């Protein structure tokens, strides 16, 4: 009696295991069919991605900030103490309370120009003075680094003719029209025609000898 059969071996396929008498020719077994290899599987997985690329599918990109097309004025975003407050003397710094402000400009590349001006307006020779000019370069942020100032008798030539003073902060996105010396005709917060300017002011009391 001839025993015959096919046995399955994993990863090799069906194997012919037929046993015949020596006189008979060996049977012709079917060709083995190998299972998909990892490389072939990778090619199959990459096929949907290729089809998406050929169909023109675009992966969305997150929104990016762009400056407005027109020029907009800068702003005083925050102030401590708030604009319009009276500054109280602070013994810790030997003068009025420190003023700290944060400027902002939607045109992020704009350079900002700031001037701290004492006892102005109006401009009065011997009384008014520009205490501290400041320039902030443009960048990629709307809010700029904070700037601060504390008026003192020694550094800012504050007039000794009065105890009550006014502190004005003038900000522009272009250089101011005039530099020192200033006068009624050449004001320290004047800007060229067509440019923007924003201002804030505080009151303080300081007796300077």
3-class SS letters over the chain: CCCCCEEEECCCEEEECCCCCCCCCCCCCCCCCCCCCHHHHHHHHHHHHHHHHHCCCCCCCCCCCCCCCCCCCCEEEEEECCCCCEECEECCCCEECCEEEEEECCCCCCCEEEEEEECCCCCCCCCCEEEEEEEECCCCCCECCCEEECCCHHHHCCCCCCCEEEEEEEEECCCCCCCCCCCCCCCCCCCCCCCCEEEEEEEEECCCC
Task: State whether 156 and 196 are in the same domain.
Answer: yes
111: confidence class by pLDDT, cuts 50, 70, 90: very high
In a domain, 82, yes or no: yes
Choice among 90-104, 178-192, 194-208 with the minimum mean pLDDT: 90-104
- Statement to judge: residues 79 and 45 lie in one domain: no
Asked if residue 64 has pLDDT above 50, the reply is no
- Residue 93 confidence (pLDDT): 55
Domain that holds residue 91: 75-205
Mean pLDDT for the chain?
76
pLDDT per residue over 150-195, tens digit each?
888 877 888 888 889 999 999 999 999 999 899 999 999 999 988 8
Same domain, 22 and 123: no
Q: Is the pLDDT of residue 84 over 50?
A: yes
Q: What is the pLDDT of residues 13-59, one digit of tens each?
A: 444 444 444 454 554 544 445 444 544 444 444 444 444 444 444 44
Has residue 106 been placed in a domain? yes
What CATH number is given to the structural domain containing 147? 2.60.40
What percent of the chain has a predicted confidence (pLDDT) above 70? Answer: 63
Question: So what's the pLDDT on residue 28?
Answer: 52
Q: Do residue 89 and residue 170 come from a single domain?
A: yes
57: in domain: no
pTM value is 0.65
pLDDT of 55 reads 45
> What is the structure's pLDDT at 69?
65
| Average pLDDT over every residue of 86-96 | 64
Q: How many domains does the chain have?
A: 2
Q: Above 70 in pLDDT, residue 60? A: no
* Residue 64 covered by a domain: no
């Amino acid at each position: 009696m001839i025993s015959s059969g096919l046995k399955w071996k994993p990863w090799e396929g069906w194997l012919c295991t037929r046993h015949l008498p020596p006189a008979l020719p060996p049977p012709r077994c079917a060709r083995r069919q190998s299972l998909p290899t990892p490389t072939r599987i990778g090619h199959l997985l990459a096929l949907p991605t290729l089809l998406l690329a050929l169909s023109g599918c675009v992966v969305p990109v997150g929104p990016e900030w762009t400056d407005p097309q027109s020029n907009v004025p800068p702003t005083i975003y925050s102030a401590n103490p708030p604009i319009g407050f009276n500054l109280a003397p602070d013994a810790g710094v030997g003068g009025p309370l420190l003023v700290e402000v944060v400027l902002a400009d939607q045109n992020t590349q704009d350079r900002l120009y700031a001037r701290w001006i004492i006892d102005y307006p109006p401009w009065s020779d011997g009384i008014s003075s520009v205490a501290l000019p400041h320039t902030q370069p443009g960048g990629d942020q709307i809010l700029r680094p904070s700037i601060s100032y504390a008026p003192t008798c020694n550094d800012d030539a504050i007039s000794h003719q009065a105890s009550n003073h006014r502190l004005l902060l003038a900000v522009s996105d272009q250089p101011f029209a005039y530099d020192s010396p200033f006068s009624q005709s050449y004001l320290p917060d004047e800007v060229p025609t067509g440019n923007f300017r924003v201002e804030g002011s505080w009151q303080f009391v300081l007796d300077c000898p």
